[in-house]
A and B are shown apart, each in its own frame.
Chain A
Amino acid sequence: MKDTLNIDAPQPSGSLDHLVYVLRSNPVTLIAFGMLGFILFCATLGPSLVPYDPLLTNASKALQPPSWDHWFGTDNVGRDVFSRVIVATRLDLSISVAAVAISFVVGSILGAIAGYWGGWLDIVLNRFLDTIMAFPLFVLAMGIVAALGNTIENIIYATAIINMPFYARLVRAEVNIRRNSGFARAAKLSGNSDLRVLAMHIFPNALPPMMVQVSLNLGWAILNAAGLSFIGLGVRPPTPEWGIMVAEGANFIVSGEWWLAVFPGLWLMMAVFTFNLLGDGLRDIVDPRKRT
C-alpha cells in the first residue's frame, strides 16, 4: 500500500487533507481499500488458515452442496471448494502482480527513452506499439503462450507484453511534454546528465497517472490470466486457480451443481471489481478533472 501513499509525495502541502477530503466524499474508494486489505490477507495468510488441504480428495464427500462443514461445498473428488478458492488467491495475485510489474518497468524504460530523446527511437517504438495493439490483446496472449510453451512463467510474460503498450504510451506522453520544461532545463544546466534528469527529475512526474493505470491493469491482468487458464493454458490441475476451477465447475453446471463454478467465479469477480474501484478512486485523487 506504500505506492498509493507515495502519490502524494510530490505535492507536500495539504495533500493529506485532500486525500481525507476525497475519501470522505467517496466512501466507495474506502470500501475498495478495505476489500484490497482482505484480498492481501487471503493471499498472505490464507493458505495457513484454511480448514482443509486444498488438494486432499475424499470420494465419500464428493459434490456436496454448501454446508457448515464445507462453506462453498465440495467438488467432484471431494475437495473443499472454500479452501481451494482462498488458497488460489496467492497464485492469481502473484501472476498479475508479476506481469504488471514487468510491463511497468519495461514500459517505463522504453517510453521514457522514446519521449526524452525522440527521433527515430520514438518512431520505431511507436510502430512497434501500434503493431502489438493491432492484435486483439487476449488473442495475442494466446499466441504467445502457444509459441513460448505452456507454463505459468509464459502466462506472466504474455500478460506483461499485452499490457506494456499502455505504460509505454503513458510515460512517453508524460516525459515528452516535460522534456523542455523549465525545471528540466535548470536541472540540466546545473550539471546533471541526461539520464539523471530523466530518471530523477522528469520521470517521477509520470508516477501518479501510472499508479491509476497499475490499479486498473491489475484487475485486467487477473481476468486475463484466469481466462488463459480457463481455456487450458498455464496453470495445470489440480493446482487451485480461479479460472481452472470455473472451467472444471462448468461441466457440472448443467446438472445443477452450481457451487463448483460460482464461488471461484464470484471471488475472481470480486478481486477484479476491487482493483477497478480502486483505480477509479485513485484517479479521483490524482486527477479530479477526469471524473466521469
Chain B
Amino acid sequence: MASSPRLRAVLFRVLQAIPVVIGVVVISFLLTRALPGDPAVYFAGVAADEASIEQTRVAMGLDKPLIQQFFVYAGDLLRGDLGQSLSSGRPVATDLANRLPASLELTLSAFVIAISIAVPLGVLAATRPGTWVDHLCRLLVTAGVSLPTFFTGIVLIYVFYYHLGVAPSPLGRLDFIYLSPDHVTGFYLIDAAIAGDWETWWGAAKQLMLPAVTLALFTLAPIARMTRAAMLSALSSDFIRTARAAGLSNGRVLYGYAFRNALLPVVTTLGMVFSFALGANVLVEKVFAWPGIGSYAVEALVVSDYAAVQGFVLAMALLFVALNLAIDLLYTVIDPRIGFEAQ
C-alpha cells in the first residue's frame, strides 16, 4: 500500500483533516455553551421553578466540569445526536437530513451554471486581452463580488416573475399543482427523471432556475477572475513558448498544455468559493422560500431554537471540511507532480 506515493499523499491529506474536524467540534461545543444566560434555565422552559431548573441541569450534565461535558457532547455527535429541535419537536439531525438534499441540489446546480460560464469566459478573456470579452469579464468580476445575493434574487424575481411572468412564483421547490416525486435521492430533478415524470421534472427545473442563477451570479466572479489570471500566467510560461516553437497547433497548446496547468489554481480557489456559496445559500433560500437547511436555520433563529441553529452551523462546517478534502483529493488526481513531492 505504501508503495504508491500518490496513495500515501491521499492518506496523508485525509489524516490532516482530523485535527480540523476536532477543532470544528470544539468551537461548536463552545458556541452551544455560550448561550445567553444559563442554558439550563433556557431548556427547562418558561414555567420552570428552581427545582426543575436544577433537574434539567443534572439531566443535561451541565453540573459536570466543562471537559467532561465536552466528551459527552462529542459522544452524542458520534451517535448522530444533535439534540432536539424546539420548534419542530423532532431531532435536529433528522430535520437537517430531510432538508439537506434541497440545499445541495440548489448549491450544486448553481456551481454547474457558474463553472460552465466562468471558466470559458476566463479562458476567452485571457486569450483575447483587451477585447470586449476581456472587458465584459472584468465588469462581471468586479460587479459580481459587490452584489448582495439577497438583492440579486429580489431583482430577478421582480423582472422574471412580476414583469415578464416567465418564472413561477418564488415559493419553494415545486408548485402545488405537482406532487413531489418519490424519494430516492431527495434531488427533485434526479428523482423525477428516475420516475420518468418529465412534467414534474420541468416544474422542478423552472422553480430551481432563479435561485440557482442568483447563487451562480455570486460565485461566478471569483472563478472567472482566477481562471483568467491562471490562464494568463500559464500562457506566458516557458513551456508554452517551447510548445509553440515546436509547432504544435494553437488548440493543442491552449487546451492540452495551458488549460491543464491553469486548472490547478482554479480548483484551489473553489474551496474559498464554496465557503462563500454555503453562506450565500442561506440568504438565497430565505429569498426564495427554498425548504433547505439554510431557511431551516433562519426559521430556528427567529424562534431562538438554539439546538437547531448550532446543529446547522456544525453540519455546514463538516460539509465544508468534506468539500475541501474532496477538492484537495481532486488536486492530487489532476496534478501529476503532487504524488512525488510527498515522498
Contact = CB atoms under 8 A, between A and B. Distances in A.
Pair from one complex: yes
Interface of A: 127-128, 130-140, 142-144, 146-149, 219, 223, 226-227, 230-233, 243, 246-247, 249-250, 253-256, 258, 261-262, 265-266, 268-269, 272-273, 276-277, 280, 292
Interface in B162-178: 162, 169-170
B111 interface: no
A134 B142 contact: no
Contacts of A273: 142-143, 146
Given A136-B274, A148-B36, A230 B145 contact: no
Contacts of A268: 148, 151
Contacts of B301: 142, 146, 231-233
Given A147-B310, A253-B162, A292-B229, A227 B150 contact: yes
A140 B313 contact: yes
A262 B162 CA distance: 14
Contact of B278 (A136, A246, A254): A136
Contacts of B324: 134
B293 to A, nearest CB: 10
B31 interface: yes
A136 B148 contact: no
B150 A232 contact: no
How many interface residues does chain B have, given as a range? 35 or more
B158 A253 contact: yes
19 contacts: A130-B20, A134-B24, A137-B276, A138-B278, A139-B282, A139-B316, A143-B31, A146-B309, A227-B148, A227-B150, A227-B279, A233-B301, A250-B150, A253-B157, A253-B162, A265-B155, A269-B151, A277-B142, A292-B232
B320 interface: yes
Given A133-B275, A136-B316, 9 more contacts: A131-B23, A131-B24, A137-B276, A146-B31, A146-B310, A147-B31, A219-B145, A226-B148, A262-B154
A131 B313 contact: no
B283 A143 contact: no
B319 to A, nearest CB: 8
Given A137-B275, A253-B162, A273-B143, A265 B32 contact: no
A268 B183 CA distance: 41
Sorted nearest first, the 6 A-B pairs with minimum C-beta distance are A138-B279, A131-B23, A265-B151, A143-B313, A136-B278, A273-B146
Nearest to B145: A276
B173 to A, nearest CB: 18
A257 to B, nearest CB: 10
A10 to B, nearest CB: 28
Interface in B261-290: 274-276, 278-280, 282-283, 286-287
Given A269-B146, A292-B228, A143 B298 contact: no
A153 B35 CA distance: 16
Nearest to A231: B298
Nearest to B313: A143
B28 interface: yes
